[in-house]
A and B are shown apart, each in its own frame.
Chain A
């Protein structure tokens, strides 16, 4: 495959710079061809059921909230951190928004309250990690418990089942054929791509993840950068909780560990390194889509949940391994070398 690709590339671009750029793009965004191949495989394996519009729309609805939370998770992982509390912020925001809406508060107030939860949770995580230097894993593990506990106290540990129409519209509307949650996801992606590639904070996030000590000696505001990423992760987790609870029209106070695994797994399958400094936000959306498509395919094929869980765990472990063994630079160098022959 690589030889035919390199042949095509050498005809396409005269200078080696062009072919290197294309190869670089292919390696950086490799999750997207993988996703397309996977979808073709799913279509074949399910005899076309996978490609039914109703199934594809369902995938978009399911993937959107997880992908939104995974985008925040990406920022944290880029700094070599981890945010286990995304699912706690998710449920706490959802129950507070749904609870306020059910109590008759206006839609904007409920949404703002939910986002405020995300800001507060993210700020606390960020301060603990950046200023007090508690390891991210422990900080967010504690926050996971605290957040879920508050959600249970607020709801008396029972789901909020009635949400007003305006709230339902947030999760269930369409613009043409496109679900509103997908549009929200695309907006977040565009905003993050702008932040990561056009603003100073984006470069700082990569620098802190690459080498925090060097970043500090270079005069970067490491603590500020860390507080920014955890706060962003909190806000996006809130948004995810809002969108998902609006879609399913209920808000549960209990966290779903499978969702947590999907947010981290999506980032990792998308190619970001857990040791920080490398990865693209947009690829995490591809990673989440891969996970959701695999789940959907196994669901259609009637695979047992145990096997499905095992397959997903295996995919994520292999992805972590490939990111460690085959980081983009190494793969890029290898491909460039092959194309030069």
Chain B
């Protein structure tokens, strides 16, 4: 029994090892420099979203609006740049839109005491509709000569800029969770809301901060997304909800709140992207990739239940 527990506990490391070693040995395309470069260029969005989602999962919530915030944010960014706004102002407005959605999500959960999945589901619809309204339903290209696409593919000391951005967010977020009072409050609220409240933690403020951070991180991901596809796409980001939740949970962030780290979420994002990359290399039908994504969510949920002693006894 103990040994099965150990295996379940280490399942994610075993999975990562298999995901790297097996295709690494079998497929020269997988270990090619081009594939590795492309892989690093492609994972920034999921890394950032998985960290954002983790803040909400830590307080035992869920944020189904992140994919829609990415779509809406990319449209806002492209539209503002087309309107002649300077890059910094357009990026700031995009980040503010995501932060605003996050605050509204948090306020809905905090003030109205509505389950987070239904609040964020409602905002998913509202954000997609906003993006469609602004763009008229079409993609909006970035103005030619925009600096943004260069940033997406840019490198600093050989590392892609978006990886450096994700790393900076990881360091800042981890510091905040570990060393700031609000960070410890997120864990406390997710661990036991009633106990947290009785020991003087403001549950409402922690809730608001968690959703605001998730919206903010989603808006950062929206900037990276727009830079990558060189446009604003009002119907993009559809699978990102599922992927961000899957990545966080694979990385050990508990669905029941109170447990997990941003580093773990990043690990989950890398593992998830590796699996997709391998499927790509073997030319697997992208529709099958969607099936695999669903199975990964189910498996991650199952492993979470098996390893989390705090799971519901019902």
Residues of A within 8 A of B (CB): 82, 128, 132-135, 137-139, 141-150, 152-153, 157, 212-213, 216, 222, 257-258, 261, 264, 268, 274, 304-306, 308-310, 312-314, 316-317, 320-321, 324
Contact = CB atoms under 8 A, between A and B. Distances in A.
Chain A at the B interface: SS class = helix
Interface string B112-146: 11110111011111101110110000000000000
B101 interface: no
A312 B114 CA distance: 16
A225 to B, nearest CB: 12
Interface in B282-314: 285, 287-298, 300-302, 304-305, 311-314
Contact of B113 (A145, A147, A216, A321): A321
7 contacts: A138-B255, A138-B297, A142-B301, A145-B293, A309-B129, A317-B118, A321-B113
Contact of B62 (A137, A142, A157, A306): A137
Contacts of B239: 145
B141 to A, nearest CB: 22
Contacts of B314: 212-213, 216, 222
A212 B128 CA distance: 37
Given A310-B129, A313-B122, A321-B113, A157 B294 contact: no
Contacts of B132: 305-306
Contacts of A261: 121-122, 125
Nearest to B289: A149
A310 B287 contact: no
A152 B284 CA distance: 13
A321 B297 contact: no
B301 A268 contact: no
A163 B121 CA distance: 33
A321 B129 contact: no
B280 to A, nearest CB: 15
Interface string B231-252: 0000000010110010001000
Interface of B: 62, 108, 112-115, 117-119, 121-126, 128-130, 132-133, 239, 241-242, 245, 249, 255-256, 285, 287-298, 300-302, 304-305, 311-314
B298 A134 contact: yes
A134 B301 contact: yes
A155 B241 CA distance: 24
B62 A132 contact: no
Contacts of A258: 125
Contacts of B62: 137
B215 to A, nearest CB: 16
A274 B118 contact: yes
Chain B interface, >50% SS class: helix
B294 A145 contact: yes
Contacts of B292: 149
A306 B123 CA distance: 11
Nearest to B114: A320
A306 B130 contact: yes
Contacts, number: 132
B305 A149 contact: no
A132 B62 CA distance: 21
A146 B295 contact: yes
A10 to B, nearest CB: 36
B124 to A, nearest CB: 7
A152 B287 contact: yes
B114 A317 contact: yes
Contacts of A148: 290
Nearest to A325: B113
Nearest to B133: A306
Contacts of B113: 321, 324
Given A82-B117, A212-B314, A305-B132, A132 B122 contact: no
Nearest to B290: A149
B121 A264 contact: yes
B112 A145 contact: no
Interface core residue of A149, A257, A264 (most chain B CB under 10 Å): A149
Contacts of B305: 132-135
A162 B122 CA distance: 34
A89 to B, nearest CB: 13
A258 B312 CA distance: 31
Report which residue of A213, A222, A313 has the largest number of chain B beta carbons within 10 angstroms of its beta carbon. A313
B207 to A, nearest CB: 15
A270 B271 CA distance: 42
Nearest to A304: B133
A145 B290 contact: yes
Contacts of A213: 313-314
Contact of B122 (A146, A212, A316): A316
A146 B114 contact: no
Nearest to A321: B112
B255 A143 contact: no
B117 A317 contact: no
Given A317-B112, A320-B115, A321-B114, A141 B297 contact: yes
B313 A146 contact: no
